[in-house]
Amino acid sequence: MHANPRCVERDQPLQGARDLMKQHDLRHLPVLDHGKLVGVLSERDLYYLESVMRVDTDVDTVREAMNPRVYTVPVGTPITSVLSEMAHQKYGCAIVMNGTEVAGIFTTTDALHLLVECFRKHPAL
């Protein structure tokens, strides 16, 4: 999990979100409205909108590209529960919440890192 992840405001132009993703090598950004989680923006969402929908990233906002359906889990949720739900629902990330505040983000890449560590500890199956 990445604690205190970078977030974007939903009324921010898409170009600002794209720049943030590129600068920090991110594939998912929690989307906030005055500090409240309202969605998630993925790199895939941006690519789709730019290539198929031909949006103007300097004018169009995160609100138009974000997914308002977000998989959230409270801090302390067992990792096996998170992994199971992410695999079953094909979620790219889980937003970790501490009450109403975004505390972290857990992505499929984080899950793969965990898998690698498990195999390093137990290389033979």
Tokens encoding 42: 């993925």
* Residue 10 near residue 31, CB atoms below 8 Å: yes
Sign of CA pseudo-dihedral 109, 111, 117, 121 = negative
Domains, the chain, in order of start with CATH, read: 2-121 (3.10.580.10)
Which residue, chain included where needed, has tokens 């109403």?
100
pLDDT tens string 63-105: 989 999 999 999 999 999 999 999 999 999 999 999 999 999 9
- Please report how many Cα atoms fall inside a 13 Å half-sphere around the Cα of residue 71, on the Cβ side: 20
Read off the pLDDT of each residue in 16-34 and give the average, rounded to a whole number: 96
- CA angle 62/68/66 to nearest 5° reads 25
> What's this model's pTM, rounded to 2 decimal places?
0.90
Kindly state the helix (H) or strand (E) to which residue 83 belongs, with its residue range.
helix 79-89
Q: Provide DSSP, 19-33.
A: HHHHHHT-SEEEEEE
* 100 or 45: which leads in pLDDT: 100
